[in-house]
Amino acid sequence: DQQVKQNSPSLSVQEGRISILNCDYTNSMFDYFLWYKKYPAEGPTFLISISSIKDKNEDGRFTVFLNKSAKHLSLHIVPSQPGDSAVYFCAARGSGSARQLTFGSGTQLTVLP
Amino acid sequence: DSGVTQTPKHLITATGQRVTLRCSPRSGDLSVYWYQQSLDQGLQFLIQYYNGEERAKGNILERFSAQQFPDLHSELNLSSLELGDSALYFCASSRLPENTEAFFGQGTRLTVV
């Protein structure tokens, strides 16, 4: 039972354009959402997060949008750069006493020069 | 460099064997998490320790165990290894147990032959 789903295994975008990565979740008890970026042979790196009480969080070129009614999360990267090419994981934190993260399966973003 | 150190980076072992993976968290971080990433899968949460005590358990097999020592480093022990245990094992750490931003190590790639 996948509680966090990233339905697009891969995405290609031209340099300078917008990249939109999507994530859906099923558990309405998640209270915090995070995006991680992962380069080959490295561990995931925290990118940006959003609390369930907000609908948008922005950090430079990265913006995360949360639509609670649709149980949908998206990461926008504008403008996209070749160095953004990586696997992006969305993760959701449980709101109970055990606040572990549940990860999606990841989306490989390729930014073409 | 996330500040989280995992050793070894690579491990090849035979079925039925036992291995120990080691993690040193970032300086000052009290919480350690272990994750397993199998091929083309998201990160599966295994277990969390906070200041030496087990805090949360995920999909960790009975053949697997972990502990966090007084100096806060952690070890993940995998025994009676099977081919299906081949995966990347990540350790992450955070200052607080609430898991709003965890820093990941580079991972240990375990291959069971």
Residue A99 and residue B92: Cβ atoms within 8 Å?
Answer: no
Residue A43 and residue B105: Cβ atoms within 8 Å?
Answer: yes
B87 touching A (Cβ < 8 Å): no
DSSP 8-class letter at A28: T
A53 touching B (Cβ < 8 Å): no
Q: Which residues of B touch A49 (CB under 8 A)?
A: 100-101
Per-residue pLDDT tens for B18-66? 999 999 999 999 999 999 998 767 889 999 999 999 998 888 999 999 9
pLDDT of residue B41: 77
What φ, ψ does residue B36 adopt, rounded to 5°? -120, 130
pLDDT of residue A97: 63
Out of A32, A43, A97, the one facing B104 most closely (by C-beta) is A43
Q: Is the dihedral of CA B36, B91, B10, B106 positive or negative?
A: positive
Average pLDDT over chain A, rounded to whole?
93
Whether the predicted pLDDT of A106 surpasses 90: yes
DSSP 8-class letter at B101: S
Residue B100 and residue A45: Cβ atoms within 8 Å?
Answer: no
Residue A101 and residue B102: Cβ atoms within 8 Å?
Answer: yes
Residue A100 and residue B100: Cβ atoms within 8 Å?
Answer: no
* Closest to B20 (Cα-Cα) out of B61, B55, B64, B60: B64
Lowest model confidence (mean pLDDT) among A34-43, B28-37, B95-104: B95-104
Q: Which residue of A has its CA nearest to B32?
A: A100
